[in-house]
Structure 1
Amino acid sequence: MSLISYLARLEAVDTGLAQPTATVRHRYLSERPLVLVPLTTAGEAGAPLGALVGTDRTAPRLLVVPQPRDRDLRFAFLAELADLVLPYVEAHAEQVEPAERTETDPETGKRVKVEVELCAQAPQLIVPSRAGVDLVRLLGRSMRFRRTAEQDPETPHPAPPRVPLLGRWLTHFGERARVPGSSLLLALTEVLGRHWATGQSSLEDQHLGALLAWIDPPEGSSGAEAALRAELLRDERGQLRCPPAGPATDPAFDNKLLAPAIERYDRARTALAAAEDGMAADDRLGDLTAAEREIRALVERVTRPTWDSVWQGLDLLRALPEGARVEERWTRDRWSFTGHRDRVVAGEPPQPRLDDAVTAANKLAAREREQARLEAQEALDDPLVMAGRRLSGEAFSGEVTEVVMAYAEGRRPSPRPLVTVRTDDRPYLSEGVKVYRSLGGKPQAAEFVGLEDAVHGDPHDDKGEDRGDSRDARGDGAVLVVLRIVDKMGRGKEPEAGSVPEKGDRLCFTLFEHEQRGGAKLPDPEQTPWTHGGPPGERTAPEPADQVTEEDVL
């Protein structure tokens, strides 16, 4: 957490209102996201109780499992969920646009550009909290290997036809959510917490109602008071007025309302099964229907407040202007979505239960690279985020006071102008360190030469111990930083117009790189050492691909 975030939290505690930690929105929001508010049974990992699903805030679809321990009812719930989610996914998979991608030519080994299809948009799934993301990943893992009756007529407990396909997509959404900056699957509490700081802990921020109370409290109330009411206020029956759905439930709800309702449902179902004639079966069917409706009403009661809160949070986020580099990260999400669509259509097997060593290392390297890229892009897009990097000594901003043209020594002299920047920041610089500024959306590099004494004009190297000697004569603590521009000036002897700063320009330089470099290429699985699952020894046969059915083709 940056110093800016700490200061914002302290100010939130002092004022009773959440404080902004960003001036722009750093995550992509689709015009038509699919919102999922799940509810699970306490003590039953992955046993769904119900969900509100949909893209229309005024007309959500309610899905309920009257008895979560019943396998057939759970499969029916998942089949209904697939009927809602897969058409939304398939609609985005059908709309494509031409694009270019760089690939390695197998014959020449050179990198060449090839024309491919790229989905024009990608689906976006939004859940209330981080626990919802974990549940999506858990459901995907439990569903993608299920066999259907069409694939294997002799399989016990066959799953409905489209359940395995939904599991593959949920797994992809869950894996993509682990990539920093991705927006395919968003936990709303995480996104709101990125843009506002509250006066409570990060764990308490996972309660969506309390988080929104800090950000947008009711009129005449402070955020702290509203958040306390959202967490603790109960009605005359002892039930929370703001239930923490998505997917946790309140013990008072489980014990006083849900458990008796499920018990009545079980009794009605047992009585229906024991009916001996048609008249008795009709009466008992009515009791079963009433018990099921009661459970549906209870599930809707605890999920609807969270549903409304999700859309309220989306409205708050949409009020922020989108960051300049958000669209670039969303394009990478579209490539990821298109790639998985192609794998599904090609009949490839589901994602494995465990990644091999090379795949796991590639995923880890990609996530580390994307994390560094995200931190750099957020700072470049947002002055408030950049202020945090400046406070930590990772960047500095100031005014150009002097520009001296100089050239590199050699057979072909290249321009290497010396730029003096007056700054109030205290960056951690040493001789030869490279700094970067954004020039036309591309990073321009410069080398740190030293600090120039504002009184005598004597440049000297800064190795940390002499920083105090280079303060401005007016005593305001400013320093004069001398930099040597080293690239992005064209190939001629004279720099291109606009490539060299001019006196009076306000510039911001960073000590971190704007673009992340790729790491070393990992060996192929066949060349992986035996210590990491490779040869020698017999290789484990890959799991066979599921038979492609009509439901699998997008």
Structure 2
Amino acid sequence: MSSLTSLARALAVRDERAQPIATVRHFFVSERPLVLIPLAMAGEANAPLAAMVGSAPDQPRLLIVPQPRNRDQRFQFAAELGRIVKSYVDSFARHQEDVTGRRRFTDAPQLFVPNPGGIDFVRLFGRSTRLRRTWGEYAVKPEVPTLGKWLTFYAERAEHPGSSLMLAMTSALSMHWATGQSAVEDANLAALMAWFGADPVEGALAAEDPERWPPAGPATDPTFDAATLAPAIERYSKTDADSIARQMAFERLVAALRTQLEPTWQLMWQALDRLRDLQPGASVLDRWAEDRDAFTNYVEYLASAGALPQARRDSAVAAARRLNRLERAQAAFDAQRALDDPLVMAEFRLTGEAFAGSVVAAEPNRLDASGPRRKLRPHVTVRTSDPLRLPVGTDLASPTRRSQTARIVSIEGSDVVLELTGGMGRALTPAAGSVPELGEYVTYSTVSTAYQPNGNFPAVEDTPWTHGGPPPPPEPTEEDAVEAWS
């Protein structure tokens, strides 16, 4: 937890209200996201119990597995969910735009789950379904492996820093607001949302009552399991198929599970409205364009001949490349957040990696004649009260002039003299507004979004023996059709 977040939590306790720790939204929020609230059977390995899903607040779809230990019913649930997800995904794979010599979709499907546990469920459920066969023994409906492929795609993008294709609501809210409770309590969506209400303390206490605010999944409340769910499942299992008693038992089970999901469904859409109230940061659309690229590439891959589902596990080279991509994406996301948001940049100011202040002197037309050609090299002096821990010669950037580099020429007390290069036009006179003016409040930091090259990794066929040697080509096996749900 950062210093400013700790301070914001203290202020939240004092003011009894969530405190902003961001001035802009750092994720994209679609006009029509798909909200998915999954429930899993306690004591079973990722066995689906129910899900509420939909892309409109007044049109939730409730899917249940009356007997979660029944394999056929699990796959029936997966097929129904697959049809919903596939229909939603396909609705975005229609309109394209030209981008630097290629085509990509103008929009992409976005998935919201209540908490990180929902992301884990999606990842495991995707693994449990994407390798299933649609022929032979243990055959499943085509929608099942299709669902698995898309859920795995979403789970992998959820691990990509800055991606907005799948988000956990509690994590998205906690990135932008701090509450007066612990991080563990913030994982409870009802308790977290209570801090935006009139009486957050009372609301957070009420959220601890599972009868008023059931868990947001995928785990269910143990009291509900013992007192309501288990008897309802047993009643359903003991009735004859196609009987009136079976139908009545099914309806009671549906009603019981609806009480567990509907409160969270309402909270999810309230939280979406809360996120939409924040203006997106300057770099959000660029990252969403990357998400649309990933979506376009995956649609094209699935449409290609011989497209295989994602492997059970990455090879050594693929895992190393993926880790390198994630590390570079995390560094870029951290830098973009800081450049977009003064509150995030404030953390860098506290550590001495950035400073802010007013311009007290400026030489906008200064020329450097030391070389064979004269070059425009303005000097500006910034007076700051921030702690300065940057040496002379350090290159800096400003959030308001990102194409310009500022090098520290000298430091005299609280005055920092900077030499500017780039972003001023090609003439020997700077373009209007390209050089900070007297009295302007500016921020400079070492934060950079400069391109980071990919790591140097061998080809898959050159995997060294120390890492298992070249892996065999991925081919479906008999074990894929009976893989455990976990």
TM-score per shorter chain, which class?
over 0.9
Answer yes or no: is the 8 Å Cα contact 2:321–2:455 preserved in 1: no
Overall identity of the aligned pairs, in %: 49
Q: Using a 3 Å threshold, how does the CA distance of structure 1 residues 322 and 40 change in structure 2: closer, same or farther?
A: same
Counterpart position of 2:170? 189
Counterpart position of 1:104? none
Residues in 2 aligned to 1:194 and 1:449: alpha-carbon distance in whole angstroms: 36
Moved more, 42-51 or 443-452: 443-452
Which of 302, 323, 346 is 1:344 aligned to?
302
Which of 462, 469, 485 is 2:420 aligned to?
485
Answer yes or no: is the 8 Å Cα contact 1:129–1:187 preserved in 2: yes
Which of 205, 230, 251 is 1:293 aligned to?
251
Q: Using a 3 Å threshold, how does the CA distance of structure 1 residues 260 and 387 change in structure 2: closer, same or farther?
A: same
Which of 306, 313, 318 is 1:354 aligned to?
313
Q: TM (normalized to structure 2)?
A: 0.93
Residues in 1 aligned to 2:333 and 2:215: alpha-carbon distance in whole angstroms: 30
Which of 133, 152, 165 is 2:146 aligned to?
165
1:483 is displaced (CA, Å) by 1.4
Which of 97, 119, 142 is 1:133 aligned to?
119
For residues 396-450 of structure 1, give each alpha carbon's deviation from its aligned partner in whole angstroms, at most 9, with x where no partner exists. 111111224251622223233332111111132112211111455x331122122
Counterpart position of 2:278? 320
Which of 246, 256, 268 is 2:227 aligned to?
256
What is the aligned residue count?
475
1:257 is displaced (CA, Å) by 0.5
Residues in 2 aligned to 1:40 and 1:438: alpha-carbon distance in whole angstroms: 45
Q: Secondary structure at the match of 1:210?
A: helix
For residues 373-401 of structure 1, give each alpha carbon's deviation from its aligned partner in whole angstroms, at most 9, with x where no partner exists. 22222222222222232222221111111
Answer yes or no: is the 8 Å Cα contact 1:443–1:514 preserved in 2: no
Which of 446, 463, 472 is 1:540 aligned to?
472
Counterpart position of 1:85? 85
Which of 184, 205, 220 is 2:186 aligned to?
205
Which of 443, 453, 470 is 1:518 aligned to?
453
Answer yes or no: is the 8 Å Cα contact 2:17–2:179 preserved in 1: yes
Answer yes or no: is the 8 Å Cα contact 1:8–1:21 preserved in 2: yes
For residues 16-69 of structure 1, give each alpha carbon's deviation from its aligned partner in whole angstroms, at most 9, with x where no partner exists. 221111122111111011111111111112101111111121121110100000
Q: TM (normalized to structure 1)?
A: 0.82
Which of 425, 436, 445 is 2:405 aligned to?
445
Q: Using a 3 Å threshold, how does the CA distance of structure 1 residues 183 and 411 change in structure 2: closer, same or farther?
A: same
Residues in 2 aligned to 1:337 and 1:30: alpha-carbon distance in whole angstroms: 14
Residues in 1 aligned to 2:274 and 2:78: alpha-carbon distance in whole angstroms: 31
One-letter code of the match for 1:12?
A
1:254 is displaced (CA, Å) by 0.3
Counterpart position of 1:60? 60
1:333 is displaced (CA, Å) by 0.3
Counterpart position of 2:104? 118
Answer yes or no: is the 8 Å Cα contact 2:161–2:330 preserved in 1: yes
Q: Secondary structure at the match of 2:326?
A: helix
Answer yes or no: is the 8 Å Cα contact 1:438–1:444 preserved in 2: no
1:364 paired to 2:329: no
1:492 is displaced (CA, Å) by 4.8
One-letter code of the match for 2:258?
E
Q: Secondary structure at the match of 1:231?
A: coil
Q: Using a 3 Å threshold, how does the CA distance of structure 1 residues 525 and 483 change in structure 2: closer, same or farther?
A: same
Q: Using a 3 Å threshold, how does the CA distance of structure 1 residues 74 and 497 change in structure 2: closer, same or farther?
A: same
1:416 paired to 2:377: yes
Larger radius of gyration: 1
1:394 paired to 2:353: yes
Which of 269, 273, 295 is 1:311 aligned to?
269
Moved more, 526-535 or 371-380: 526-535
Q: Using a 3 Å threshold, how does the CA distance of structure 1 residues 164 and 406 change in structure 2: closer, same or farther?
A: same
Residues in 2 aligned to 1:21 and 1:375: alpha-carbon distance in whole angstroms: 15
Matches within 5 A, 1:446-465: 446-452=406-412
Q: Secondary structure at the match of 1:421?
A: strand
Counterpart position of 2:214? 243
Residues in 2 aligned to 1:351 and 1:58: alpha-carbon distance in whole angstroms: 35
Q: Secondary structure at the match of 2:51?
A: strand
1:13 paired to 2:6: no
Q: Secondary structure at the match of 2:392?
A: coil
1:6 is displaced (CA, Å) by 1.1
Residues in 2 aligned to 1:412 and 1:131: alpha-carbon distance in whole angstroms: 61
Counterpart position of 2:204? 227
Residues in 2 aligned to 1:545 and 1:40: alpha-carbon distance in whole angstroms: 27
Q: Secondary structure at the match of 2:235?
A: helix
Counterpart position of 1:476? none
Q: Which runs of 5+ in 1 are unaligned?
A: 101-114, 233-238, 273-281, 453-469, 471-478, 547-554
Residues in 2 aligned to 1:495 and 1:263: alpha-carbon distance in whole angstroms: 79
C-alpha RMSD over aligned residues: 1.9
1:98 is displaced (CA, Å) by 1.9
Q: Secondary structure at the match of 2:406?
A: strand
Answer yes or no: is the 8 Å Cα contact 2:130–2:149 preserved in 1: yes
Residues in 2 aligned to 1:495 and 1:480: alpha-carbon distance in whole angstroms: 23
Answer yes or no: is the 8 Å Cα contact 1:439–1:499 preserved in 2: no
Residues in 1 aligned to 2:104 and 2:293: alpha-carbon distance in whole angstroms: 7
Moved more, 409-418 or 487-496: 487-496
Residues in 1 aligned to 2:115 and 2:457: alpha-carbon distance in whole angstroms: 35
Q: Secondary structure at the match of 1:93?
A: coil
For residues 255-293 of structure 1, give each alpha carbon's deviation from its aligned partner in whole angstroms, at most 9, with x where no partner exists. 001111111111114xx5xxxxxxxxx7xx111111111
1:176 is displaced (CA, Å) by 0.1
Residues in 1 aligned to 2:236 and 2:255: alpha-carbon distance in whole angstroms: 13
1:542 is displaced (CA, Å) by 2.3
Counterpart position of 2:484? none
Moved more, 252-261 or 511-520: 511-520
Residues in 2 aligned to 1:526 and 1:157: alpha-carbon distance in whole angstroms: 34
Residues in 2 aligned to 1:134 and 1:343: alpha-carbon distance in whole angstroms: 24
Answer yes or no: is the 8 Å Cα contact 1:414–1:492 preserved in 2: no
